[in-house]
Chain A
């Protein structure tokens, strides 16, 4: 028994369990308040006030919503496949919660002489893990849509599946450019390499653009929310869902937003890094001592990470209330004819820049050259004769 207690205190087990629980709680909390923020942002953009009755500024609204969801009838259609019908939202929620496991939310705490990373698990294939889990997320939608035994649900699910597969390609290729620069798959390593203000966004502007667009598509957010397109498909894959099962689907969307904002922050905005972090850390260490100073500096780093994440979530909402939904053929055109070729070009440019030895200059020069080439090609294209416009 004593050896077990000793093992518990000496190993990282307790600290890791604590960190996992805290990250889990923060993820759920942020996702819950994203629903509130979404309504507030929507309201403010449309010159309204938004929810302001439940608690101060409507801050208890998520609780009220959850309460409402729980008290709705939990209905399963007679023709539905019961087990798959239940499995769908569970899988959606499960994969959504898993994806933030490899995200480093901060540097490390030094507690009792041990260094504890502020990250649930550090694995050397972090990015692959994120992509694997995110791809699994399609199963939740697909199973839910299929099990509902409803045409609209099935259509929504099929749309979701094809959309996610199409955009994962471009997303993956925009990430490969980052991986070529960093030479590692570990998210922590990628963040460490962006120390200070040396963020990847300056090296990969096009990659960032492609990644963001694909992240919107992967999260099924407007302008790519065709899977749940109300105007065409009633509610898409969750047409038949009610009560907390529907709540799980909607909640999973917000968790996915949080996770993709976190991954974007790590890959392109330096995660917990911020300009002047070394100065802050040395000042804190000289003022508070090595351990406490380091821990406080880590806390500030976590603050910078969450600032980036929250801005990312705000950006998701900002775009949602600005841009109308794409048509399905436009969505596919953009994915296959627009983003994938651009991602490949970005890959080639990055590779060339890395080989040339001047990364920053090379990439920007390459992008400039690409734009020039595309515009020349555009101006030389055969002009279509249009009877209506020619009149």
Chain B
């Protein structure tokens, strides 16, 4: 059974190569291979459901063993990776069908990214982890730039920031290697346990920079809005739903696999009974939640809106993980799964809209509800889940995070988390309103719903939002078991929620949903009884002396939240990106200036360099080698 770990890791890579070769034969061969192999990987992943394997040695490098391992936490992420990849492959078949030329290596890259992410979650040592981390970076770069002209610039920003993040991790890994000459997780934990506080903080910070770049935690998020919105439709859910979770996974491993709350508490001061390092991470996450929510509200581009929303939602994940309590960490991990599901769903649904209309500009869309009813329903489920309304899946995980913060009495963070959640209502409403409600532009009168191959993944995810919403125990089963391995107190749970008398208090999603449903029905009935409205046609309207025609747009769709935007103007102006750009430009000018003065192209100058070197050497000799 252990050898299967290696096979599972190899499956997507082999599949990718075969898909590339198959594409030369016929495109259906390519599709068939891609679907088969991503499905195979998913099946193989299920073999490891709730299985813990301590370590399979698959090689050794510079005296450090290379290890693959799995445990329920790894499995959670493995499940996210394999399931989403499979759905995305299916969606791609429908979506990317049209330009055949560009698809040459698309599935290869897609499966390679999947393989790299599997490698990350299965890694049992930091070299393996880092290796697959880098492979993930460059393969996903190639996926992003499939999107055309604009995406190239976005991809460039992404890869440069990824490399910077990766090298920051690299320094930490090298520091750890030098200390213990082994990078197996268990040995790293021992090394850190016997290290000074400074060393531990440096290691965590350097590793954390790498993870935060990938997880797009502010202020390292600037690549995400561009990359996620410019990437092709099927790639965005992979990036937003899955890839940024790798940062969260890495953070979890570092904080609780290498360190532990007790250990961190021993070597550094605590605030709100949280080690200060974790507390800072919590604040960064909370700032991400709030600022990204505000930015999402102001977007005019559907995918950009979702991209900012991803930054805000990954903020919840990181906030939960950084609380350090069983409840909070479980909530964070659960939210990672939930976010993958509903953000995947939203991106795919928006992708479906783009597929039919060719635009993702919110102000150009509208009234598609009658034309694309299935997509509308799925997207509706997605936004309800995102907003954290029961009975869908975003509710429970967010609730757990709130509860954890409340128990720690971290009121500010709690308020920020609430703001993020409330703000989410604003932007998700914007999303569904601008695309599906309101007036249908004339050019979209012949729009149909998307083909079945694109519907299937959307609806699988839509149903999942309900399943994981009503049965949070399904996920808790894995998470709690896994967290026990990392030394957390297990929290009691049932299939439907949390029983009375646990750390959290009773929570049963069905009951809450029932209450909500009753309230909803009551309101509906009241509305039906009491309303004096009559049904009118959309154009049976009157606007300032003008009769409304289908050509005339009369509902708001541009600058939807303009007055709100004025309130938060100072925040929007913050412009972290401008600061980065300023430094990059300054470095470029500086570099160019000096390069031109060194390599002048003038032979006399060049020869004088030789003279300078010889002079320095002569000086060294005269001084007896004591130049410094």
Same complex for A and B? Answer no
Interface residue ranges, B against A (CB under 8 Å): none
A residues neighboring B (CB under 8 Å): none
